[in-house]
Amino acid sequence: MVISGMIKILIENLSLQYSDGKESLRDINMEIPANAITVLFGPAGGGKSSLLRVFNRLNDLADVKLISGRVLLDDIDILDPKIDVITLRRRVGMVFARPVVLPMSIRSNLTYGLELTGEKREKILSEAVERSLRQAALWDEVKDRLNEPAVSLSGGQQQRLCLARSLVLMPEVILLDEPTSGLDPISTGKVEASLQELKQGYTIVLVPHSVQQAARVADVAAFFLQGELIEKGIGKELFINPKDKRTEDYIMGRFG
Amino acid sequence: MDRQKKIIINPGSSDARLTRQKLGFGCLTLTTLATVIPIFAVVIYILIKGLPAISWSFLTTFPFDGVKQGGIYPAIVGTFLLTLGTAIFSVPLGIGAAIYLSEYASESRWTRIIRIAIINLAGIPSVVYGLFGLGMFVIFLRFGTSILAGSLTLSIMTLPVIISTAEEALRAVPQSFRVVSISVGATRWQTIRRIVLPQSLPGIITGVILGLERAAGETAPILFTAASFFLPRLPNSPLDPTMALPYHLFVVSTQVPGMPVKIQYGTALVLIAFVLGMNLIATTIRSRARAHRQW
Amino acid sequence: MESTKNWKEYILTRLIKISGYSAIIFVLMIFYFLLREGLPTIGEVSFVNLISIRWYPIEDYFGLLPLIGGSILVTLGAAIFAIPIGICTAVFIAEIAPRWTRDILKPLVEVLGGIPSVVLGFLGILILAPALRRLLDLPTGLTALAGSILLGGIAIPTIVSVAEDALDSVPRSYRDASLALGATQWQTIWRVTLPAARSGVITAIMLGIGRTIGETMAVMMVTGNAAVLPSKWNSLFLPVRTMTATIAAEMGEVAKNSTHYHVLFFVGLVLFLISLGINVAASTAVFKQRRRAERILS
């Protein structure tokens, strides 16, 4: 099911198992469209975060017993052990559930990723800092305090800083794992608004922290239960008219 | 009045228990004082008896007349050189090992063996290190009685302290930093160099200083590997033997008949000042770092 | 540019890995050298000689028993002295003293642990020994007792530090439950908290004793260095010689590769194995205690 134009990520028969048996994925087949917000939702343990971490190979850090299938980013299989994971992680950015700011200044948090590539030119770094902060709707609030420690920001600001940080390297895909779970409604609203703007230039995959958030932002929604993809749909269709009973039960709050 | 209350609430036993508690607390307080007061007493006593001996010439001139007169300059320099030598060998090796254990190694049989080895090294008596240093560095590698042999011996002795404190400091850095760093495309080493090491540096430095402080005060490892009773000149190469403060104190308090007591106390004072000074620096670094932490 | 970075990083990673394994290499090296120079003893000195009670190397008497006996006596004396005081101090700091004093007392005790043993030995000669001689009317103050007191002073900081950590990590809920049942704080400490921290406290004691056995300078300066088997009831008040002091005192005078030389290395080997045993046992207990505490607190 494609909404318009391109498929950014194609998942074919993906199965994943951890050594301790937790949160595995079973035979996932799915397409992630470009320039849209794809939402992966479902109860805990469903495999959503695991799938997210496959996209930037962050699951390499965990104890994976078995992984099979193909995940194609454009035309490259990112599960291929021969690919350059570093470059992949620059093409696919990630925002985590709890805002993790590095113990540095606001500016350094943002330039960190660029400096890793060897970029030293002040002009390029400063431009990247401003651009990403504007995209995260944070520029006005911090433009005079760029050299202050990032921990001095409020929770909502820190999370938007993390969003900005993921944008600095100009990735093609942005992954967000419950990005607003600790935030107040206003900050949540700001993040969601930024995502709506960003989707025009980026592919966004989001694990929401509530069904309501999923319904608010999804262009494509996919329901996961215990490692299986149960159902997917376009826009609000899944939330208004779920086809599978399990989807309906979850959305209705009968379990969760 | 009191008697009446007791009969109503709880006959007898609670009063006895409280008395026992008061007695017990008193005993414990006394015991702690017995532990703490001698510490003060030792330092202050040495301060009082040793201060008269301290003068600029004491600290900067050579001893003469056997060692019965003059200063302890070469011993001070010697201890300084030995500490430096120990640092040169044990710090990179120790921090490297700590980085390996904290950032690279997964918990396997081999890492357990490494940890057991570190525990062993920590428990070996200092005189056994002296024997080892004698056998390996002085004799087998033919360094002779030298600063080099002494430093190498002291480094191996200091290694476990540095490794364990450094590893603890590295592990204290939140794992989330590493994950974030990796997610923007850093390699493991880049993450270590740019985030983990800088954040853990105060803790590592504290551990290094405490380890070197121990090395500076040890006598037995340098007895057969580096120390010399009296040298007319300062050592001018790592293969020369040297005088050293702890060894000098040992000698002047046990091997020299007619040794002026004042100089003995002066030597002890300088040694304590050196060691406690390092302790103070380490503690200051540790508390200031804790206050300025951004996590 | 990326490839040079990779190459540098590769070498660095290799070096780090080697550093990690270096501890094993060093332990093996030490063991090897002790064996190499110590084992010839077995060929050169008869077993009967080694277990005799005469240590008189000049006349080829290499009985180890007086030395082992000396070490045991002094260590035992130190233990009797240090264990009660150390544990009581740890209890005081952890359970009774107000929170703010803890930050003063703990570093203070660590300062005692940092005083070089040669300084303590020095004070032992000048102050402790004469005092003992006068107080107890002995021919000399340089006795096992003096050694025990100094060694106790060296062991106490270790015992206090580790035991205090162990007591501190006992969950609050244990104490609260006991107090809620009507026990006094005193009763809670001895019947609930201390038993709960038992393995940590035992570890503290073992580590302290381990330090004691390995101590060289302080004992050498203060125990009188008479290699006599401590067999009389008043041996505590007589001069004695430990294994460590023997090595330190005699190593400087032996001819390389002589029998005496080999025997001294052999004594070193014995010391190595003893402290190995104690420290491994103590530290395995530390790991278990920490894991248990984590499970309880999680």
Does residue B153 sit within a domain? yes
Minimum distance, in Å, between the CA of residue A62 and any CA atom of chain B: 11
Confidence of residue C290 (pLDDT cuts 50, 70, 90): low
In terms of DSSP bridges, do strands C55-56 and C61-62 run parallel, antiparallel, or are they unpaired?
antiparallel
Asked if pLDDT for residue C4 goes beyond 70, the answer is: no
CATH number at residue A229: 3.40.50.300
Residues of B in contact with A149 (CB under 8 A): 294
- B225 — contact with chain A (CB < 8 Å)? no
Residues of A in contact with B180 (CB under 8 A): 96, 100, 102, 162
Minimum distance, in Å, between the CA of residue A29 and any CA atom of chain B: 25
Size of interface B-C (CB pairs under 8 A): 252
- pLDDT for C128-159, tens place per residue? 888 888 888 888 888 888 889 999 988 999 89
Question: Inter-chain contact B184–A149, Cβ cutoff 8 Å?
Answer: no
Asked if pLDDT for residue C297 goes beyond 50, the answer is: no
Residues 249-278 of B with CB under 8 A from A: none
d(CA B295, CA A103): 7
CB B146 within 8 A of CB B241: yes
Does residue A142 sit within a domain? no
Minimum distance, in Å, between the CA of residue A40 and any CA atom of chain B: 20
Question: Inter-chain contact B184–A116, Cβ cutoff 8 Å?
Answer: yes
Which residue range is the domain that position A96 belongs to? 7-102+173-185+200-251
Does residue A216 sit within a domain? yes
CB B62 within 8 A of CB B70: yes
- What is the per-residue pLDDT for C288? 66
Question: Inter-chain contact B294–A149, Cβ cutoff 8 Å?
Answer: yes
Backbone angles phi, psi at C53, to 5 degrees: -105, 20
Number of structural domains, chain B? 1
Does residue A129 sit within a domain? no
Which residue range is the domain that position B224 belongs to? 70-292
- pLDDT for A139-161, tens place per residue? 999 999 999 999 999 988 999 99
- B175 — contact with chain A (CB < 8 Å)? no
Residues of B in contact with A93 (CB under 8 A): 183-184
Q: Which fold has domain C45-297?
A: MetI-like fold (1.10.3720)
Does residue A242 sit within a domain? yes
- B80 — contact with chain A (CB < 8 Å)? no
d(CA C267, CA B233): 35
Number of structural domains, chain A? 1
Nearest residue of A to residue B193, measured between CA atoms: A116
CATH number at residue B232: 1.10.3720.10
d(CA C265, CA C259): 10
User: Residue written as tokens 């939702």?
Assistant: A41
The arithmetic mean of pLDDT across residues B235-253, rounded, is 90
Global pTM value: 0.87
Question: Inter-chain contact B185–A116, Cβ cutoff 8 Å?
Answer: yes
CB C134 within 8 A of CB C168: no
The contacts of residue C224 (CB under 8 Å, 6+ apart) are C140, C142, C143, C144, C238, C239, C240, C241
Residues 137-176 of B with CB under 8 A from C: 139-140, 156, 159-160, 163
Question: For all residues of chain C together, what is the average pLDDT?
Answer: 85
Question: Inter-chain contact B184–A96, Cβ cutoff 8 Å?
Answer: no
Question: Inter-chain contact B117–C23, Cβ cutoff 8 Å?
Answer: yes
- pLDDT for B86-113, tens place per residue? 999 999 999 999 999 999 988 888 998 8
The arithmetic mean of pLDDT across residues C3-7, rounded, is 71
Asked if pLDDT for residue B3 goes beyond 80, the answer is: no
- Partner-chain residue, chosen from C16, C24, C256, that has the shortest CB–CB distance to B99: C16
Question: Inter-chain contact B182–A58, Cβ cutoff 8 Å?
Answer: yes
- pLDDT for C189-200, tens place per residue? 888 888 888 888
Question: Inter-chain contact A165–B185, Cβ cutoff 8 Å?
Answer: no
Q: Nearest-CA neighbor of C176 among C203, C198, C196?
A: C196
Minimum distance, in Å, between the CA of residue C59 and any CA atom of chain B: 23
